Amino acid sequence: MSKPYDVLVIGGGVEGLVAVSLLARAGLRVQLLERSAILFGHAGGATLNALDPRVVKDLKLARRGLRFAARDLGLTVLRNGGANAVIGRDRHATARSLAALSPADAAAYAGFRRELFALAHAMRPAWWDGASAEDVVNRFKPQQRNLFERLAVTSATAWLGSCFESETLRAALAFAAVECGVPPSEAGSALALVWAAAQEMNGQQAAVAVPRGGVEGLLRALALAAQKYGAEIRTAAPVVRLTLAQDAVAGVELANGETVAAPLVLSALSRKHTLLDLLPPAAIGFGAARVLARPVATFGCATLVFTLIRASSFDAGMRFVIAEKPETYDAALAAVRLGATPRDLALELVASPVELAQAPPAPLTLTVRAWPVASSYVRNDLVRTVGALIERHAPGFMQIVNNCDVLEPQDGDAFSMTRLLAGASQRIETSVPGLLLCGIDAEPVHAVSGRAARQAAGLAIALHKKARAR
C-alpha cells in the first residue's frame, strides 16, 4: 500500500474540487474520490451567483481558463400580456422600466435595494468569514439590528409585499429565495434574500454571471487548479463506507472493497447521506441518527437544459423570471406536498450566449430553473409543464426544442434559520472526529459558493498542523 493520504475529499462537484485544490495548495497529500466515471458528468446550470471571489483569486482560476461570457445578467420580469420590466444595475433605466409596472414601485425600488444591500454588506463577516451571526449583529446600530431581527422572522413574500404593490415584481424578486432552497412564504426567508444580496461576482454585489461553458467551465478550471497543485483525482470510485478507528475517521472503503486510509475526510455529499449511509448509526448516536432519518418533504430547484435548433426569443445577457404572483409559489408548493404536479411553476430562464469564437459552435441552449420540483417528479410531465409555461411568453417555443436534459433537485438539509445564523465551524464539523462537511449542507443556505469548502479546507489544514505538531 502506498503512503497514506493526509486528507480525502468525497465528491467531485464545485465544492469538492475547491476543497481538494486548496488542500493541495497548502502542501497536503490529498485525494479526491468521485463516484462517476467522468468528473463533469453532472455539471448543471449556466449561471453563477455566489462563487466566493477569494476562491477565484487563491486558485488563480482566471489563469486556468475561467472566463465570463456575461458579468452581470439583468433580471427581466415577464408579464402575461403586458410590458416586461427590466431590473439591472443602471438605477435610472431600472426606475424607468419599473414605472411601467407601477410608478410607486419604481420609486420604492431604489430604497429597497439600498436597504437590502447595506444589510447584506454588513452581514458579510458572518457569511463570508464564518463568524457567528450573533457576534456580527451585536455590533450593528440599533436601526439595522432592528431590521435584521425583523427579517429573521419575516417571509420573503411578506417583506416584498410591504415594499412593492406590483404582484409580478414581488414574485420575480422572491425567486432569489427559492434559489437558496427556501420557500418564499417561509418565516425567515427574507434573510435568504439578504444572503443572496451579500454575494459578489466579478466585484459586483449580487451579480449573476455566466461563465463560458456554464458551470462546467468553472469545473474545468478547478480541475486544472487541482492538478497543478498536485491533488490526485480518482474517478469511478464510489465510497460505500467510512472506516473508523477509536470513534475517529480512519479512511474510506470503496465499492470495490479497497480501503484508502487518511486521518481526515471532507465530504461534499449531503449531511444525511454522509452521516447515515456511510457511517454505522452508533457513530453519531442513535438519537441524532433518528432525527436525521426523519423524512422531510424533498423538493427543490430542478434545472432543465433545452437544446434549441435556432435562437429563441429570449436574448442572452438577461435572466427571465416567470412567476405570475407570489401565490404561484404557495399553490405550487402545496401541490408538490400533496404529491401532484403543479400547473404553475416559478421559472428562471437563461439563454446561452452565442460564442462565435468557439469551434465547433456550441449548441444553443436555454437553461431553465424550475421551482418547486419534487424529487419524485415525472420527467415528461415536468418538461411539458415547463414548456407550456414558456410558450405563454414565446409562442412556438417547443417547436424549436431539439432535446431537453433534466437535472433533478439536489437533496440536502431543509432550510433552517439555525444554519443561516450559525458560525462556520458549527456547519462544517460533525460529531465524528476527523469528518468534516464541505458540501452544500455546510453552506448557510442551499446554494453553492465554494465558501464552505474553503472554510472546511482551512479547518482541515489547521487540524493537520496540530496533529503533526503532536
Q: Which residues bind other proteins (CB under 8 A)?
A: 133-134, 137, 142, 145-146, 149-150, 152-155, 158, 161-162, 183, 185-188, 294, 297, 327, 330-331, 334-335, 337-338, 415-418, 421
Yes or no: say if 239 and 33 are a contact pair by the CB < 8 Å rule: yes
Distance in Å, CB of 380 to other proteins, minimum: 24
**What backbone torsions phi and psi does residue 22 show, to the nearest 5 degrees?**
-65, -35
Q: Judging by DSSP bridges, how do beta strands 264-267 and 435-437 pair with one another? A: parallel
Residue in this structure with the C-alpha cell 497548502, named with its chain if needed: 26
Which residue bears the cell 432552497?
181
Q: How far is the CB of 304 from other proteins (least distance, A)?
A: 24
Distance from the Cα of residue 245 to its chain's centroid? 34
In whole angstroms, how close is the CB of 427 to other proteins at the nearest point? Answer: 16
Taking the complex as a whole, the smallest distance from the CB of residue 190 to other proteins amounts, in Å, to 8
CB of 296 to other proteins, least distance (A): 9
Helices (H) and strands (E) in the chain, counts: 19, 19
Using the minimum distance from each CB to other proteins, give the nearer residue, 26 or 137: 137
Q: Which CB sits closer to other proteins, 97 or 189?
A: 189
- Given the complex with other proteins, which of 193 and 224 has the nearer CB atom? 193
Q: What angle do CA 293, 11, 285 make, to 5 degrees?
A: 30
Nearest Cα neighbor of 243 from 234, 232, 252 is 252
Straight-line distance from the first to the last Cα atom of the chain, in angstroms, rounded to the nearest whole number: 25
Burial of 291 (0-12, 13-18, 19+ CB in 10 A): exposed
- Omega within 30 of 0 (cis) for the link into 372: yes
Cβ distance to other proteins smaller for residue 89 or 337: 337
Query: Whose Cβ is closer to other proteins: residue 31's or residue 328's?
Result: 328
**C-beta of 423: minimal distance to other proteins in Å?**
12
Least separation, in Å, of the C-beta of 440 and other proteins? Answer: 19
Q: Which is nearer to other proteins, 2 or 138 (CB)?
A: 138
- Least Cβ distance, residue 132 to other proteins (angstroms): 9
Least distance CB 256 / other proteins (angstroms): 40
Distance CA 10, CA 16 (A): 7
**CB nearer other proteins, residue 71 or residue 325:** 325
Q: Please work out, in degrees rounded to the nearest 5, the angle formed at the alpha carbon of residue 279 by the alpha carbons of 275 and 283.
A: 90
Closer to other proteins by Cβ: residue 139 or 337: 337
For other proteins, give the closer residue by CB, 129 or 134. 134
Cα pseudo-dihedral 392, 394, 395, 399, rounded to 10: -120
Least Å distance, CB 381 to other proteins, is 19
Smallest separation, CB 453 to other proteins (Å): 26
CA distance 19 to 226: 9
Measured from the CB atom, is 401 or 417 closer to other proteins? 417
Considering beta carbons, is residue 89 or 150 the nearer one to other proteins?
A: 150
Least gap, CB of 80 to other proteins (angstroms): 16
The three cell numbers of residue 143 are 436601526
Q: How far apart are CA 388 and CA 395, in angstroms?
A: 9
> What's the chain's Rg over C-alpha atoms?
22
**What is the helix (H) or strand (E) element at residue 303, kind and residue range?**
strand 299-308
Cell numbers found for residue 8: 480525502
Which residue lies nearer to other proteins by CB, 185 or 202? Answer: 185
Amino acid at 340: A
